[in-house]
Amino acid sequence: MPSVKFSYKILFLLSFLLCSLNGFSQNNKQKELETRRQELRREIQKINELRAENKSKERSQLSLIEDFNYKINVLRNLIKVTNQQANFLSREISNNQRNITSLREELKQLKEDYAAMVVKSYKSKNEQSRIMFLLSSNDFKQAYKRLQYIKQYSDHQKKQGETIKAKTLELQEININLAKQKEDKNKLVTENRVVQKSLESERREHETLMKSIKSNLSKYTAQIRKKQREADRIDREIDKIIKSAIAASNKKAGNSSSSKTFALTPAGRSLAKNFESNKGKLDWPVEKGRVTLRYGKQPHPINKSLIIRNNGVRIATEKGAKVKAVFNGEVTAVIAIKNANTVVMVQHGNYFTAYKNLSKVYVKKGDKVTTKQDLGEVFTNATNGETILSFSIFKENATQNPANWIYKM
């Protein structure tokens, strides 16, 4: 018999732990969704601010399409996350409603049992009847057991009253949570309607612009290809500099000049290790910005048959934006490329970060820089008001996806 009781205890404890873990997991999920929703809202705010800043400028249709595509994507994500939150709250509301029903039934039974005990206690509360109950015992042992029974009955009655009080408070708390959850869900649903209208408006403008572009698609395709050639030319210059730095490090270390990896000093190895340990936590290269073109091969939003290659990310930012070093390092090159704006390269052991399209540069080759130090200023196109930073990360001369390295990119 004791083993059966022990098994029940284990089952009860396991059930309690599972419920606690489930509640903790749900609470974490809710917080994650809310954090993501707020991030997306801030992203939309940044898009609107940059749009307002460039409103008076005659922007190219290519950049406008990029803007529309980006904002539409963010709005879709916001709707998706908000729906997830609303669905999550719906499930929580249903659970709480079931808990309320269960607690009410339990509370009703407890009150009925307590009322029966009170009646029974009232009938036998006469002190004389209790004494007679004890004196009528056959022996001392029976009298002692009867005394224990009276005490246990009294304790049970007291505990029953405390349980009713605790259950009543629990029910009140769940009812308050339920009202709050319903209010939160209504807010999310209302907000989603507003976002949905904004999305529909963006789509209409996007469609109108695309019709205008498609009437002269060959002209825009030529512009896209020209941009790609310019980007490729800059990337080839960067590749030459990295290969030259690798060869110089090996020559200095007495290694083969054909080696494709860096011969790092102890300080260089330490810097590279620190850089790697901060993967996903590196600072943004500008204070305020949004990614308009992501890393890798991708179809162009205007001409889907045209595949563009991007060795980094393009970030739209505000006029006069300062470019900041994402990590400690040494300026390995300041490149002035013909018919293009300046590029600054910073070395972090066997890693490099490249900051392209700068109008002003505050550093020179050989300078030691620290995280968040200003390297220069992003170029602003006087014609269309666009301020775009192209940013890349390399390990040796292999490109890396900046989104994997920069915090919440």
- Let me know if residue 219 belongs to a domain: no
Same domain, 290 and 244: yes
Could you tell me which residue, 376 or 86, shows the higher pLDDT?
A: 376
Residue that wins the pLDDT comparison between 159 and 245:
245
Q: Are residues 125 and 259 in the same domain?
A: no
Three-class SS string for the chain?
CHHHHHHHHHHHHHHHHHHHHHHHHHHHHHHHHHHHHHHHHHHHHHHHHHHHHCCCCCCCHHHHHHHHHHHHHHHHHHHHHHHHHHHHHHHHHHHHHHHHHHHHHHHHHHHHHHHHHHHHHHHCCCHHHHHHHHHCCCCHHHHHHHHHHHHHHHHHHHHHHHHHHHHHHHHHHHHHHHHHHHHHHHHHHHHHHHHHHHHHHHHHHHHHHHHHHHCCHHHHHHHHHHHHHHHHHHHHHHHHHHHHHHHHHHHHHCCCCCCCCCCCCHHHHHHHHHHHHCCCCECCCCCCEEEEECCEEEECCCCCCCEEEECCEEEEECCCCEEECCCCEEEEEEECCCCCCEEEEEEECCEEEEEEEEEEECCCCCCEECCCCEEEEECECCCCCCEEEEEEEEECCEEECHHHCECCC
Burial of 359 (0-12, 13-18, 19+ CB in 10 A): middle
169 in the same domain as 131: yes
319 and 248 together in one domain: yes
Query: Is there a single domain that holds both residue 193 and residue 71?
Result: yes
The structural domain count of the chain equals: 2
Does 62 fall in a domain? yes
Using pLDDT thresholds of 50, 70 and 90, give the confidence band for residue 53: low
pLDDT digit string, tens, across residues 199-253: 898 888 888 888 877 777 888 788 888 889 999 999 999 999 999 999 999 998 8
Residue 377 lies in a domain: yes
Specify if 134 maps to a domain.
Answer: yes
The pLDDT mean for the chain works out to 82
The answer to whether residue 296 sits within a structural domain is yes
What confidence tier does 5 reach under pLDDT thresholds 50, 70, 90?
very low
- Per-residue pLDDT band for 4 (boundaries 50, 70, 90) equals very low
Q: Is the residue at 284 inside a domain? A: yes
Q: Final residue of a domain: which of 189, 214, 239? A: 214
Q: Over 50: is that where the pLDDT of 8 sits?
A: no
Res. 395 pLDDT band, cuts 50 70 90: very high
Report the alpha-carbon distance of residue 300 to residue 227 in Å, rounded.
12
Q: Are residues 59 and 175 in the same domain?
A: yes
pTM: 0.64
Q: Is residue 409 part of a domain?
A: no
Do residues 262 and 400 both lie within one domain? yes
Name the residue with tokens 């009703």: 108
- CATH number of the domain within which 243 lies: 2.70.70.10
Counting residues of the chain whose pLDDT is more than 90, the rounded percentage is 33
pLDDT tens readout for residues 339-390: 889 999 999 999 999 999 999 999 999 999 999 999 999 999 887 778 999 9
The domain of 305 spans 225-404
Of 190, 214, 238, the last residue of a domain is: 214
The answer as to whether 220 is a domain residue is no
Claim to verify: residue 236 and residue 169 sit in the same structural domain: no
My answer on whether 15 and 162 are in the same domain is yes
Spatial CA neighbour of 327 closest among 245, 270, 248, 250? 270
Domain end call among 158, 188, 214: 214
- Do residues 202 and 281 share a domain? no
Pick from 337, 348, 339: nearest CA to 240: 337
Say which residue, 105 or 200, is predicted with more confidence.
200
**317 and 169 within one domain:** no
| 272 and 393, same domain (yes or no) | yes
